Homo-oligomer: A and B are copies of this chain.
Amino acid sequence: MSHFKWIENGSITSVPGFRAAGVTAGFKRNGSPDFAMIESEVPANFAGAFTSCTFAAAPVQICRRRVLESSTIRAAVINSGNANACTGPEGLANAEKSCQLTAARLGITSDEVVVSSTGRIGVQLPMDLIERGIDLAAAALSRDGGAAAARAIMTTDTVPKAVALTLEIGGRTVTIGAMTKGAGMIDPSMTVPHATMLCYIATDVKADNALLRELIAANVADSFNRITIDGDMSTNDTTIVMANGLSGAELTTGSEETEKFRQALLAVMQELARRMVMDGEGATKFVTVNVRHARSAADAKLAAEAVANSLLCKTAWFGGDPNWGRVVAALGYSGAQFDPGKTDICYDDMPVVRCGGDAGTPESALCGIVKQREFSVNVDFNDGAFDYWVWTSDVSYEYVKINADYHT
């Protein structure tokens, strides 16, 4: 029995005090919505986590500055279709200018605005489109604009990704709403979120910035950092949480209520992470890789990520091929220390490898499992106390098509 309740068709605007909009500014050639705005009616505490890519995009640099220098924020603007990455001083000035224009339009200050961009790298932001986007979005801001905002931040995503839930904290109802985008350039090997992945989370709980940062960092490790689609990571990855305090419920470090909130926040982040993998570019499978009883946490992680990122495993899954040799090969080159002779592998609950060799399950039974939309690869090293899991997808013709054609 969970202590929180999902809101049907929930989004960031399910949270009291937040308005949002998604509009077409013209970044995308096909006329799809490509500009989103989120506004908090009152100053919101906030925290962020960002790509560790050396080439961090201009908007990421702005967000990092806000996290250091601003105590609260009021708004976020997000464009898709242009990443404003590798754009030098001009790109940075454009990102700052986007904040200034938004601030002027909303009657706030530019250090109360955060900005994200996603799309093509290396092209300067067309500022006329940014201006148009800000004007249209500011005019369209509404209490039920969350779904439109989630749609406007999509790139190769096929479905918008938005959720919300409520829980009770100290006798008051607290809401968490969030949206994310990201279907390619997704890889888990980060200490912070990553992966042409944008995630905006709003809540009406009251928490200071340090606590929000702590909650985000802990939860990212168990959600967005557990997913991989193609092993690539983006220049623009950003997760921002905004907390406006309007529920009256207040979190304090280390309290039981805070842990309750963290778990609900984790549910939101895991659900979005799961939807990102489900909507991975060209993905036809959702695969959970579990590694159990490894000698160390590092060994468990290395092993799980090697299998989850193996192009040979991912193409075999696409083909519905139970070829466990590829799983074994990936474990073998992962760098994890383990005893092959003690290693067992199951697909779902079906034994595949026993003590490093064929477990003897008929291939037809294994085919039945890997032909499913969703299954798990369960590796047991029987050699220690450390576990790790990763969610991944397959690699299909469609993946190649999407990424060979993305540019043109």
Contact = CB atoms under 8 A, between A and B. Distances in A.
Interface of A: 51-56, 83, 85-88, 91, 120-123, 184-185, 187, 189-190, 194, 230-235, 309-312, 315-316, 318-319, 321-326, 328-334, 336-338, 340-341, 353, 355-358, 395-397, 399-401, 403-408
B325 A120 contact: yes
A232 B311 contact: yes
A206 to B, nearest CB: 36
A355 B83 contact: no
B400 A396 contact: yes
Contacts of A395: 311, 400
Given A185-B312, A232-B310, A312-B185, A329 B55 contact: yes
21 contacts: A51-B333, A53-B329, A53-B332, A54-B336, A54-B337, A54-B338, A54-B340, A55-B340, A56-B332, A85-B328, A88-B355, A88-B357, A121-B326, A122-B325, A122-B328, A194-B333, A232-B333, A233-B329, A318-B400, A319-B407, A321-B406
A323 B86 CA distance: 12
A247 to B, nearest CB: 38
The residue in A189, A312, A353 that gathers the most chain B C-beta atoms within 10 A of its C-beta is A312
Nearest to A124: B358
A357 B86 contact: yes
B53 A319 contact: no
Given A54-B331, A55-B356, A329-B55, A400 B403 contact: no
A55 B355 contact: no
B404 A319 contact: yes
A303 to B, nearest CB: 10
A229 to B, nearest CB: 9
A311 B309 CA distance: 10
Contacts of A123: 358
